[in-house]
Structure 1
Amino acid sequence: MSIRARVVVGVYPGQADRVVLKAAVFAARFDAELVCAWANPNATEFDPYLTAHLTRILIDQNVDWSTRQLTGDPARALGQLAESLRAVMVVVGTRDGTVRGSLQEFFAGSIAMHLAHRQNRPVVVIPLAPVSFDDLPGQAE
């Protein structure tokens, strides 16, 4: 009996749907289960509103999925889950582009950065506000 492949995606209430939907694409391509993991040190069970939201956005995706409630540091918890599941990859999103989000990322460091340094699996970072190469300085003529 073979163990099914898994893709772990970090989720949280209010997160952009783009992150989960892109993770679902990877899961479908790997014929893997999508494991939606929320690391919240103050919660003992997965947020039912987040589960309902995930159900709505994943309903038309051709992928099996589940949820996992994690505690502790999000990067460490996601890494440990990915290790225990032997996930093929970990998917996370960038923080929001607000000043508050940028300050949080500066002082606490990004989850993606911490995962990349501690994880022996691929870490895929989904940008919330992708920039076109045409938008970069010196690229437009």
Structure 2
Amino acid sequence: TSVMEMTQMADMLNMLQASTWAISLLAIVVGGLGIINTMLMSVFERTREIGVLKAVGWSDRKILTMIVGESLVITIVSAIIGSVIGYLACVLLGPQMGISPLFTPKIFIQAFAIAIVVGIIGGIYPALKAVKLPPTEALRYE
């Protein structure tokens, strides 16, 4: 019976770990879509500005860097705010649930690395849309 209990416990832990990974992946996808949406709106609202920058000689690479850089800034600020809120939630709610939270620098480094990758990937598509805008069309845009 103890072997069966150990097997059941291992199965439950595996199921819990799989559900944790699924929730994390869903959060990453939603975050990426949020960044893409935010940056697309930024590009569409600044179409005329991008046209002026292209008309005065900005290279496609410089515009691409500008849009992806903005995406990274938004992502880093969001990661910092999310880390602080997560830390506070764990510290305040953990004892009430009978859980003692464990924080390591590795967890925060992984979270920031994932956030930066999502920010770069989320900023590339809107940046490519901005680069493909012809200056004449962008200047005519209202």
Shorter-chain TM-score: what band?
under 0.3
Greater relative contact order structure (CA < 8 Å, 6+ sep) = 2
TM-score normalized with structure 1 length: 0.24
Q: By percentage of residues, which structure has more strand? A: 1
TM-score normalized with structure 2 length: 0.24
